[in-house]
Amino acid sequence: MKSAFTAALLAAVIALPAYAQEASKPPEPFTEDFLSDAENINAGQEMWAEQCRHCHGRTAYPGKAPKLKPYKYKPEFVYRRVTDGFRKMPSWEEVYTDLERMQITAYVLSDDFSP
């Protein structure tokens, strides 16, 4: 009993750093066409309003999450944060498909972005 528990614990501890290093990449590289496509941007905007605004939006409780600075981000970075999460930033991998997470990225990086 005890050794099985110890083995499981050890396995988890060993597996964790390897898992944490595995940063998610989009299934296909982002293209200008994808990022500027109105359909993608609109779909991303809806998801933003449903899931992101209450933490990152202008009316969010101060200090809940950082104000986003899209001019500083590459699409791969936004995709990775949305997919993997980071510290108190939740992961959306189980919530949204790869395409949807790419669309959220397109919205955040678009001129329409309005937190």
Residues that bind ligand HEC (CB under 6 A): 51-52, 55-56, 64-66, 68-69, 78, 81-82, 86-90, 92, 104, 108
Q: Which contacts (CB < 8 Å, 24+ apart) does range 59-65 have?
A: 65/89
Q: Which is nearer to ligand HEC, 41 or 104 (CB)?
A: 104
Minimum distance between the CB of residue 49 and ligand HEC, rounded to whole angstroms? 10
Expressed in angstroms, the distance from the first to the final Cα of the chain is 52
Minimum distance between the CB of residue 67 and ligand HEC, rounded to whole angstroms? 8
Query: Which residues have CB under 8 Å from 100's CB, separation 6+?
Result: 43, 47
User: Could you give the count of Cα atoms lying within 13 Å of 4 in the half-sphere of its Cβ?
Assistant: 1
Minimum distance between the CB of residue 20 and ligand HEC, rounded to whole angstroms? 14
Minimum distance between the CB of residue 87 and ligand HEC, rounded to whole angstroms? 4
Q: Which is nearer to ligand HEC, 41 or 78 (CB)?
A: 78
* β-bridge partners, 89: 86
